Every structure is written in C-alpha cells, then in structure tokens.
C-alpha cells in the first residue's frame, strides 16, 4: 500500500474526480477525528483503521475493545477485496455441555457474565495483521493517539453515564468495589485509564506478543480464572486471526462484498436481497405494509437457515453460496403470500444440495483519498462483555462464548437459536451476525456500512442498502429512518418508534403479523429489553465520487470528513 504524503493527499482531493474526501464514521467523535488525523499525516484507510480501533477501545469501552474480536471487510484502490476474521475462539478446554447443569439445563448467566463467558480475544492480532499487510505508517504512530487519550482521559457523555450505571452492579459483583468501572461516572466527568495507556504502549513497542504472551497475558488469565473461567496462557499464545474470502454477490447493478462464516451476516444479507430482488421493492413506499411484508418474509426464511446451517467453517464443511443460490431462494419464497404472514412454525431450514467443498458491538466505516474502503465490526458481545475487567491492563474481556449454541433450541442473549453447526468445541469460533459490508457500483466503492445490534445487525444493513438504492434516501436519512426486524423466532415483527402508523399496524395484524413497537422495557424469554434497532455508521460515495456520511443519532456516533 502506498503512503499518502500530505501533498499527494491535497492533490487527490482537490483534483476534481480523481480522489475522495477521506471520511471516518464511528461510535465516538475522538475516534473519527483520530482516523482523519492519521490520513492527514499520509496514512491510508488501513492505518486509520488501526488507530480508530484503538481509540474506540479507550473511549467506547462498552464495545470498543482490545479484549474482544471482530471482522474487517475491505476493498482497495487496486480493486482487490478481502476480509480478516479476528473473531474470538473457544478456549482449549471448552466443551459442548460446559454451560449445562447435571439435569442438562442451561445455567443462567454462565455464558454471559464472568470468566467462563470469555472467548480468546482477537482484536490485537487483527489490527497487527491488517497493518502488516495493508498499512503504511509505523505502528507506533497509530497507537500513540490512543496511548495519550487513555492517559489524559475522555469526557463521559449522557448515554455513557446511563450505560455504565445500568451495569454498575455487575461490575461490582464481578470485579469488586475498587475496580475502575465500579465508580459512578457522570456525564462531563473525565475518564482516565492509565493502566490501558501503559498496556497500549507495551503493545506498540513490542508487538502482539506483548498481549498474547508474558505480563499482559498473565493478567488476563489471572482475571479469567479468578472469576471462574477456563482460558489458559496457551490459548492466548495460540490465537490466530484468519484471512478469509468474503462473500460476494450482486443485487441489481450493485456488487456486494460482505463477511462470510463464521459470520452469518454476509450470507443472510445475500439471501434476503436475492429473495426480494424480483419483487422490485422500490415500487412500494419505505416502511409500507408491502415493503415490510417482503422484508419480514425474506428475513424469516434466512434466519431459519442461519440456525441450522451456520457455524465455524474450520470445523465442518458448511454451505455458503448454496444458500444464496437463485433457485434455492426463489423456492424458499414460494410459500410467501401477500394475504397472510407465513407462520414461523411452518418455516424450517431449507433443503439444499451441499456441494462437496464448500446494542453491544460497534462498527466503523472508513474511506481514504484513493478509495481504499474499510468496513469493521468489532465487539465484546453484550455491553462491556463478560464484565470481567483486567484491572492491571485496563480493559474489559468479551462474553462471546454466548454466541455459541449452549444447547440446541435454547436462545442466546439475542434470542437466536442454533444447532450442531454452532455447538461448543475447543478452539472453535462462535457464529456471528456481524455484517461489515462494502457495496460497489461500476467497480467503485459506493457504500461502506455496518452496525452493532446482535441479531438485528443483518436486517439493519439490509435496510440501509434498500433505503439508499431503492427508496432514494441520502446517507444520513437512510441511517435515521426507523427500522424493522424479524428473525424467524420469536415470530414477531419489531418496529422502531415512529416506524409505522396505526393504519399500517392494523393491516399487518390483520395479516397475522404480530407487531411489537419499541421500546421493549423489560427482558422476556427470547427477547431483550431494547429501544432501538442497530446503530449504523456508513459512508456513501455517489457516481461523481462525492462522499457523504451517516452517523447514527441513536448513539453518540460521529462522522469526520476531510474537505
Ligand atoms: N456478538 C454478536 C455477534 O457476533 O453477532
């Protein structure tokens, strides 16, 4: 990858039609601004990615992380695309029934809270892999802004105050009264994390080994084992991220590049877009009864396949393109009727011919002046992950083990159920819904998109694509528009506040759609309390190469763009 000197950068931006305005959209202003600063200094989108990832680990501890994992999907200015899987892995001592009691019942909270919930983290491996293959600036330059930010602190927002308060008792229960996050932070406080600053400095100087081996590794293992976990130093030492082929498919004149297994996101996105393509959804209004019916019926069938077929491709031969095949998807939609909802109880996974071969997460989108495009979704799983805080290292650890199927048919935190393909095995990666996506038009980047939201990630990305290309919305309008979600089970259509009026609500109900309008206040089986669907950060590039952004107002998200 070429390094962009400031002179070349200005030339690219100013010379009409030759360059793009670099942009970063992420969950925090500090992170977006740091990404832009890196590109101003001549870094490319991959350098910016490393710096943004670390800045989110400091300023957005609810999901930004070095103790979690995620996926990168990218498209370079040379027209190459690829993806990196830095998803967490199950510890070597993990086993299928590890969350079940002697009666075979799932032990409450064991896969979500405390050391037993922690998967082997991938983020540090991921950012070093990206940097060594595609970055251009020295790694120290990319760490330094976050080393400083952790030391000098960042200002707590109202949304952060509320989120921290919500988990305060869990922090105290897991980490004790004296832990950094066991304090009552208020809006306007400056949150300094000196230990994290020191950890980042060590990693910047000594590379990924400074996280996966030695002092920091020992801190992680001590915390995990003290709170009931089974992870060992060998698990950390043996962690590796994996370059994988992204899924690629077309929707009308667009080429879509998204994450493949062990994320279900790209495959489901392909299935859903393929399922609705022949119905020409753009002829209907946004969130009309017809467009909601089409989306929901496509979603229902795709999520039924998710629960049966998907898991870690390193552990079994699993179908990918078979599930997006035109004939297969058309057949799946044959039972769709405009008159009545197809009950989920009548929908199971489809029959495919397997070819031999085969609110909790965070997303950021980046484009540089050359058009290198990076789409990254990363997570600790649920808010602040397992709540296990590595005190001496200054960071939270994930609870990604909950994304495995603890028991067939038993819903995880997102109400998702799974089968053998996603059962727990030593060193296996748990199935994800993360959907970092890049859409190309005429071979050029057109949309860089992704979101947190557990099971609602895939349906949110699906709707952003439709909002932009079918309903003619600007990038920001597409992000703001109220969203709809269905995931096969539970058989409910969840709609954000203001998403539909009473008339449409009644029509949908008369067709046997069970509509739930957000907010859902308290947890109920298979359904978490939630007030919104997804929190999308996206970049749109029009046919003239003009860049526009959409930072989700559902959070503190921020778009920074270099004009
Ligand atoms: N932890 C959420 C996901 O990977 O889908």
pLDDT digits (tens, 9 = 90+) for 237-272: 999 999 999 999 999 999 999 999 999 999 999 999
Distance 258 CA to ligand 1 centre (A): 15
Q: For 143-164, how does the pLDDT look when each residue is reduced to its tens digit (9 = 90+)?
A: 999 999 999 999 999 999 999 9
Distance 116 CA to ligand 1 centre (A): 17
pLDDT of residue 519: 85
Q: Are strands 389-390 and 242-244 parallel, antiparallel or unpaired?
A: unpaired
Dihedral over alpha carbons 30, 36, 40, 44 (to 10 degrees): 130
Distance 455 CA to ligand 1 centre (A): 7
Distance 495 CA to ligand 1 centre (A): 21
Q: Give me the sign of the Cα torsion angle 369, 375, 380, 383.
A: positive
pLDDT of residue 528: 64
Evaluate whether 365 touches 551 at the Cβ level (below 8 Å): no
Name the closest-CA residue to atom 3, ligand 1.
Answer: 432
Could you identify the atom of ligand 1 that is nearest to the CA of residue 455?
Answer: 5
Mutate which of 399, 433, 455 for ligand 1? The one with the most ligand atoms within 8 Å of its CB, which is 433
pTM of the model: 0.94
Q: Give me the sign of the Cα torsion angle 299, 416, 494, 61.
A: negative
The residues assigned a catalytic role are 361
Could you identify the atom of ligand 1 that is nearest to the CA of residue 402?
Answer: 1
Q: For 315-355, how does the pLDDT look when each residue is reduced to its tens digit (9 = 90+)?
A: 999 999 999 999 999 999 999 999 999 999 998 887 765 44
Could you identify the atom of ligand 1 that is nearest to the CA of residue 400?
Answer: 1
> In a 10 Å sphere around its CB, with 0-12 CB exposed, 13-18 middle and 19+ buried, how is residue 536 labelled?
buried
Mutate which of 68, 117, 384, 400 for ligand 1? The one with the most ligand atoms within 8 Å of its CB, which is 400
Residue among 49, 55, 324, 67 at smallest CA distance from 221: 67
pLDDT of residue 524: 55
Evaluate whether 365 touches 450 at the Cβ level (below 8 Å): yes
Residue tagged 């406080």 (tokens): 189
Q: Are strands 493-495 and 515-517 parallel, antiparallel or unpaired?
A: parallel
pLDDT of residue 420: 85
Could you identify the atom of ligand 1 that is nearest to the CA of residue 379?
Answer: 1
Q: What are phi and psi of 166, to 5 degrees?
A: -60, -35
Mutate which of 381, 413, 429, 452 for ligand 1? The one with the most ligand atoms within 8 Å of its CB, which is 381
pLDDT of residue 356: 36
Distance 402 CA to ligand 1 centre (A): 9
Name the closest-CA residue to atom 1, ligand 1.
Answer: 381
Could you identify the atom of ligand 1 that is nearest to the CA of residue 265?
Answer: 5
Q: For 439-469, how does the pLDDT look when each residue is reduced to its tens digit (9 = 90+)?
A: 999 999 999 999 999 999 999 999 999 999 9
Residue tagged 């998967």 (tokens): 119
Residue among 133, 495, 489, 446 at smallest CA distance from 291: 495
Distance 513 CA to ligand 1 centre (A): 27
Distance 432 CA to ligand 1 centre (A): 4
Q: Is residue 16 over pLDDT 50? A: no
Name the closest-CA residue to atom 4, ligand 1.
Answer: 432
Mutate which of 411, 454, 485 for ligand 1? The one with the most ligand atoms within 8 Å of its CB, which is 454
Distance 239 CA to ligand 1 centre (A): 19
Q: For 103-159, how does the pLDDT look when each residue is reduced to its tens digit (9 = 90+)?
A: 999 999 999 999 999 999 999 999 999 999 999 999 999 999 999 999 999 999 999
Q: Give me the sign of the Cα torsion angle 229, 234, 237, 242.
A: negative
Could you identify the atom of ligand 1 that is nearest to the CA of residue 87?
Answer: 4
Across the chain, mean pLDDT equals 93
Q: Are strands 373-379 and 247-251 parallel, antiparallel or unpaired?
A: unpaired
Q: For 494-530, how does the pLDDT look when each residue is reduced to its tens digit (9 = 90+)?
A: 999 999 999 999 999 999 999 999 987 765 555 667 7
Could you identify the atom of ligand 1 that is nearest to the CA of residue 264?
Answer: 5
Ligand 1: lining residues by beta carbon, under 6 Å: 361, 379, 381, 403, 432-434, 454
Evaluate whether 295 touches 459 at the Cβ level (below 8 Å): yes
Distance 397 CA to ligand 1 centre (A): 14
pLDDT of residue 18: 60
Split at pLDDT 50, 70, 90, the class of 549 is very high
Q: How many residues does the chain have?
A: 563
Mutate which of 112, 258, 260, 361 for ligand 1? The one with the most ligand atoms within 8 Å of its CB, which is 361
Q: For 415-425, how does the pLDDT look when each residue is reduced to its tens digit (9 = 90+)?
A: 787 778 999 99
pLDDT of residue 526: 54
512 φψ region: left (φ > 0), alpha (ψ -120 to 50), beta (else): left
């Amino acid at each position: 990858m070429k390094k962009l000197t400031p002179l070349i950068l200005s030339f690219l931006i100013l010379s009409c039609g030759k360059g793009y305005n670099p942009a970063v959209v992420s969950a925090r202003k500090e992170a977006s601004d740091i990404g832009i600063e890196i590109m101003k200094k001549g870094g490319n989108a991959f350098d910016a990615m490393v710096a943004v990832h670390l800045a989110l680990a400091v300023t957005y501890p609810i999901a930004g992380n070095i103790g979690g994992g995620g996926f990168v999907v990218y498209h370079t200015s040379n027209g190459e695309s690829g993806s990196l899987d830095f998803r967490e892995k199950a510890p070597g001592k993990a086993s299928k029934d590890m969350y079940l009691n002697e009666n075979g019942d799932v032990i409450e909270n064991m896969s979500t809270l405390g050391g037993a919930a922690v998967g082997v983290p991938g983020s540090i491996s991921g950012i070093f892999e990206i940097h060594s293959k595609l970055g251009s600036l020295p790694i120290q330059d990319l760490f330094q802004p976050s080393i400083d930010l952790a030391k000098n602190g960042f200002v707590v927002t109202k949304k952060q105050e509320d989120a921290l308060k919500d988990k305060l008792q869990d922090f105290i229960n897991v980490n004790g009264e004296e832990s950094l996050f066991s304090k009552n932070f208020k809006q306007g406080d400056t949150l300094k994390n000196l230990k994290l600053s020191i950890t980042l400095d060590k990693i910047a100087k000594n590379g990924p080994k400074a996280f996966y081996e030695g002092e920091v590794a020992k801190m992680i293992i001590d915390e995990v084992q003290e709170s009931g976990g089974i992870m060992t130093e060998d698990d950390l030492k043996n962690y590796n991220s994996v370059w994988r082929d992204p899924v690629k498919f077309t929707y009308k004149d667009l080429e879509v590049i998204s994450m493949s297994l062990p994320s279900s996101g790209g495959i489901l996105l392909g299935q859903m877009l393929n399922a609705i393509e022949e119905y020409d959804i753009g002829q209907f209004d946004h969130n009309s009864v017809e467009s909601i019916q089409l989306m929901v019926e496509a979603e229902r069938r795709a999520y039924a396949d998710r629960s049966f077929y998907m898991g870690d491709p390193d552990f079994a031969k699993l179908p990918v393109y078979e599930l997006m095949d035109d004939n297969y998807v058309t057949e799946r939609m044959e039972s769709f009727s405009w008159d009545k909802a197809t009950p989920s109880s009548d929908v199971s996974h489809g029959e495919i011919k397997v070819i031999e071969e085969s609110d909790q997460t965070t997303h950021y989108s980046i484009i540089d002046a050359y058009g290198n495009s990076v789409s990254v979704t990363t997570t600790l799983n649920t808010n602040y992950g397992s709540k296990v805080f590595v005190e001496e290292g200054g960071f939270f650890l994930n609870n990604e083990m909950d994304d495995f199927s603890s028991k067939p048919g038993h819903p995880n935190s997102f109400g998702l159920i799974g089968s053998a393909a996603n059962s727990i095995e030593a060193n296996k990666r748990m199935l994800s819904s993360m959907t970092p996506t890049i859409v190309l038009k005429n071979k050029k980047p057109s949309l860089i998109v992704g979101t947190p939201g557990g099971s609602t990630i895939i349906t949110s990305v699906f709707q952003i694509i439709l909002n932009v290309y079918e309903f003619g919305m600007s990038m920001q309008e597409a992000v703001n528009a109220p969203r709809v979600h269905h995931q096969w089970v539970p058989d409910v259509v969840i709609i954000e506040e203001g998403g539909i009026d009473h008339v449409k609500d009644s029509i949908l109900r008369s067709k046997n759609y069970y509509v739930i309008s957000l907010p859902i206040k308290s947890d109920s089986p298979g359904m978490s309390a939630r007030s919104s669907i997804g929190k999308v950060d996206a970049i749109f590039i029009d046919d003239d190469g003009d860049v526009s952004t959409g930072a989700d107002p559902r959070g503190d998200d921020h778009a920074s763009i270099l004009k």
